Amino acid sequence: MALTTLPNTAGHATIIECFERDGAVIVENLISDATLVALREGISKRQRGVEPGSRSESELWRIFHGANTIRFTELGKVSPAFYEVLDNEIFARVADELLLPLCGSYWLNTGQAMLIGPGEPAQFLHRDCGNWGELCGRLWPDCPEVTVSTLIALEDVTEERGATRVIPGSHLWEDYERRGHPEDTVPAEMAAGSGLLYSGKVIHGAGANRTQDQWRLVVHMSVVVGWLTPEEASPLEYTAEDIRDLSERVQRLLGFRSYDPAPHPSGRLWLRNFDALELNGRE
């Protein structure tokens, strides 16, 4: 069973239907050609100054990150085109529909380059919602959607280069501890500029790069409901001046606006001296 690939002109309802059925869907030309070129150039330039491998002291994380994989964050400083990705309308509509029933707004969880080098073995299968496993595991199988991700191809992503492998429908499994097997997976092959949109509950993992000299170049972006802690500390990577002239959505995603739960009954979060953070207003 292959993942569904849709044109970027597909209606929102069609994208959501495929997402909810399979836990993932590929959207062609998710970003514009200009954004793709600018982002690829910036990331390729930054790549040359980063050594492959994990910086974690944990053996588990070193295995997860990969010995011949390059990862880095602060993508808005690598290329301002990343701010356009944060404002992507298709991804925003999907995230809004899936997350806003549970929260007033959401944060950027991860915004990172994931560059898989030749000879890198397949990543072990996992669910992204496992970042908050104590919550999701206890609520499973009735766990709500708390995080939504996209992988954006900067060059064509093929199975040979290490296309991410997904188990369609695994977000609906009754057993949270069930992890599936490699033979259950399908590769998310896609053309440059396309994006894999997927649930935090679906089981997936980067595939093995079986080439001799080709890198798999993608950007990973995920968002998380506003009452959970993001993986990345974006406000420590950017300053208020870096993003002051960007959209309210980008400022909020990067943690420069407070969390207001409305219309949900709950408390405000991320305040400063009991007041809301609002760039271009009170701060």
Tens digit of each residue's pLDDT (9 = 90 or more) over 81-95 = 999 999 999 999 999
On whether residue 164 sits in a domain, the answer given is: yes
What residues make up the domain containing 221?
5-225
On whether residue 246 sits in a domain, the answer given is: no
Report how many domains make up the chain: 1
pLDDT tens per residue across span 228-270: 999 999 999 999 999 999 999 999 999 999 999 999 999 999 9
Q: What are the distances in angstroms from CA 174 to CA 77, 168, 170, 178?
A: 42, 14, 9, 8
Please state, as a whole number, how many other Cβ atoms lie within 10 Å of the Cβ of residue 172. Answer: 14
On whether residue 51 sits in a domain, the answer given is: yes
What average pLDDT does range 25-53 have in this prediction?
97
Domain holding 60: CATH number? 2.60.120.620
On whether residue 234 sits in a domain, the answer given is: no
Is the entire prediction scored with pTM above 0.85? yes
Among residues 213, 208, 217, 219, the alpha carbon closest in space to that of 160 is found at 208
On whether residue 162 sits in a domain, the answer given is: yes
pLDDT for 278 = 85
On whether residue 242 sits in a domain, the answer given is: no
On whether residue 205 sits in a domain, the answer given is: yes
On whether residue 112 sits in a domain, the answer given is: yes
pLDDT tens per residue across span 139-190: 999 999 999 999 999 999 999 999 999 999 999 999 999 999 999 999 999 9
Are 207 and 164 contacting, i.e. CB atoms less than 8 angstroms apart?
A: yes
